[in-house]
Structure 1
Amino acid sequence: MHNHAERRSYRIGDFRALGEKFDIDYHFPSISQAAADADQTIIAEGGISEYALSSGFRFTFSRLSIRQPYKSVSLGHAPLLILLVLEGHVHLKIGALEKTLTSGSAVTMQLHPEYPLQATQMTQQPLITVTLAFDPKGADVGRASPPTLLRLLSQIHEPVHTWSLPDFLKTQLVKGYLPELPELQQSLLLEGLALQLTGLGIPENKTQTHVTDAVSQPQRERLELVRQKLEFAPQQNYSFSELARIAAMSPSSLRTKFRATYGLSPFDYLRRCRLDLARQYLNQGFSVQQTAHKVGYRHATNFATAFRHEFGISPKNSQ
């Protein structure tokens, strides 16, 4: 079930072994190629514990001192991934979206190989994190995932949802959630914690779904590929025929079924994604002109009009 943490040094070779196990690429920007090839440079010191549960949930508890900065690129797939930062900070990038997590903050996301998750860890101590991943394919044979959970996960339409960890839970996790208990009790505690974090971390569905019998499950899965493309790369230019090809539908069918599923037409959804991303860039200090171009608008005036219509204020006043 688990691998207990022991304080030790983690070298480049250890990170590469982790990468092979979890489909993650690691990059070490401050280390020469020769040193990287030798696999012996110490990157971090501390402990990492893994707990794979029979339900398909998997925990990774990590308490490290980062000696050399590194970047990880997660290439796998997971319908749910929750990252909690208890101490320190982590910078995340997925598609065009970027987030920095600090102590007490958490993020909920879904991983898709087309939009790998990039995480950057700078030199710091300590960095204490908890990662919860869920994949029903990882459940024990004959162990079905709760239907309510799978239904909730299918309705998440916010690719990177940040939230704050309640103080009582943060305190408990920092202390060390697992006492020295037999494996059965540990499993029960972790199953309960996984459901608690999932309940806290699933975002409110801002997009009202209107799924009808006219939209089959295979069609919903293809529509979700379209939605993710718009969400993670809103700065790109799209044609209706291109999106229809991804959905394996006619343009008119795509328009009807996308609206039936997500409550908006594809291009209304794209506009909202662009403007949500624009708010992030404006908050980071980019000018209105720079922001307009970064989110896919050719003309700043068109961007300003759309921004004002969406949020009720001009882009300049939102900075």
Structure 2
Amino acid sequence: MHTFSRADFERFGQLYDIEFRFPAIQGDTSADDHIVARGEVTEHSLASGFRFTFSSLQVLEAYESVSCGHAPLLALIVLDGTVELTLGSVEHVLTPGTAVSMQLHPDYPLQAYQPAQKHLEIVALAFDPRGASLGHVSPSLHGLTTLPRVPLRKWDVPVALKELLQTYAGLTMTGVQKDLVLEGLALQLAGLGLGGEEHESPHVPVVPVQQRQRLELVRQHLEFTPDHHHTLKDLADMAAMSPSGLRAKFRAMYGVPVFDYRRKCRLRLAKHYLEQGFSVEQSANKLGYTHATNFSTAFRREFGFSPRQCTVGH
């Protein structure tokens, strides 16, 4: 079993564009040797461009990470323990047997919080064709290189696959045999992580594929930056459509008007602020509401309870 200090985490972060934060020892420049975790971390890079990272740790000090790198597809699978993830206004708590998949991009940093816990076991799978050593990406993986932005998607790991991942550490395979098994696992996880088009309505086929990809960029932009000022013209320019075309096609694609979707994203972010201890007035101001009463009305309509109920206990 290895020990991992703050300096060890920071060296790992430099390799993969991850910033680590340690709330209990933040600002203490003499704490580089402070032990944060014990356990094992192993990596396996495959010729196809997939990279596995298996982590089995006892987390002694809670830590945060902010990933600012790039990967067309990233999947995080929790086999044991708890991880809290935030991407824009989207938050998920991962427990054993759950996973998330997304497209990692520097514009939308992925934040993760790992509380102190006896056993945290995580599998991270990243795919980037730039890491492929075969000279080209296999045809079955080519679609991953041209994906529109993949939203943060939570999903359940099939029991059989979870058990296989858990027993990986005990496997004695080496060389080509190990690579083939890991390639198979990577393809299964990638397929499950992409999932279906959850946001689409039954009328989506009337929207051409290229327009659907641009609409998804707009949706993601609204979801990740709900506190920004968005105009219909700016969003239409992003989608390379007229304002009327964006309104019609966004509703056909997602079943909700574009600014109703933005409002929902704003209110989800406001709920997060309230749960973090900000007042109703502060949360309203952060989201651009001029009057807290208008914010409270919209919040109650969306969630069925008043924003002040979120502040109880803070």
**In the alignment, structure 1 residue 119 sits paired with structure 2 residue 119:** no
* Alpha-carbon shift at residue 201 of structure 1 (Å): 2.7
Mapped pair 1:57 → 2:50: yes
Aligned mate of 1:146, from 140, 147, 158? 140
Work out whether 1:35 is the aligned partner of 2:30: yes
TM-score by length of 2: 0.78
**How far has the Cα of 1:243 moved from its partner?**
2.3
CA distance in structure 2 between the partners assigned to 1:231 and 1:199 by the alignment? 24
1:157-185 CA deviation, whole Å, 9 max, x = no partner? xx222222223332332233561212101
2:187 to 183, 192, 195: 195
Change (3 A) 1:22 1:211: farther
User: Identity over aligned residues, as a percent?
Assistant: 45
Structure 1 residue 76 and structure 2 residue 69: aligned? yes
Q: Which amino acid aligns with 2:16?
A: F
CA deviation string 1:247-295 (max 9, x = no partner): 46553454466567656553244245457x379769x799xx7899487
Task: Sort the Cα spacing of 1:300 and 1:107 in 2 relative to 1 into closer, same or farther, 3 A.
Answer: same
Report 1:1-319 matches (<5 A). Answer: 7-31=1-25, 32-36=27-31, 39-140=32-133, 141-146=135-140, 149-150=143-144, 153-154=147-148, 156=150, 159-176=151-168, 179-208=171-200, 209-210=204-205, 216=210, 223-247=215-239, 250-252=242-244, 254-255=246-247, 258=250, 265-271=257-263, 273-274=265-266, 277=268, 293=284, 298-305=294-301, 307=302, 314-315=304-305
Q: Residues of 1 paired with 2:213 and 2:131: CA distance?
A: 20
- The 3-state SS of whatever aligns with 1:143 is coil
What SS does the aligned partner of 1:35 have? coil
Q: Which runs of 5+ in 2 are unaligned?
A: none
Unaligned runs of at least 5 residues, structure 1: 1-6, 309-313
Amino acid at match of 1:75: C
TM superposition score normalised by structure 1: 0.77
Seen in structure 2, the aligned counterparts of structure 1 residues 272 and 34 have a Cα distance that, compared at 3 Å, is closer
1:82 shift after superposition: 1.1
- Give the AA of the match of 1:228: Q
Report the aligned-residue RMSD: 3.7
Moved more, 60-69 or 134-143: 134-143
CA distance in 1, matches of 2:20, 2:276: 30
**Length, aligned pairs only:** 298
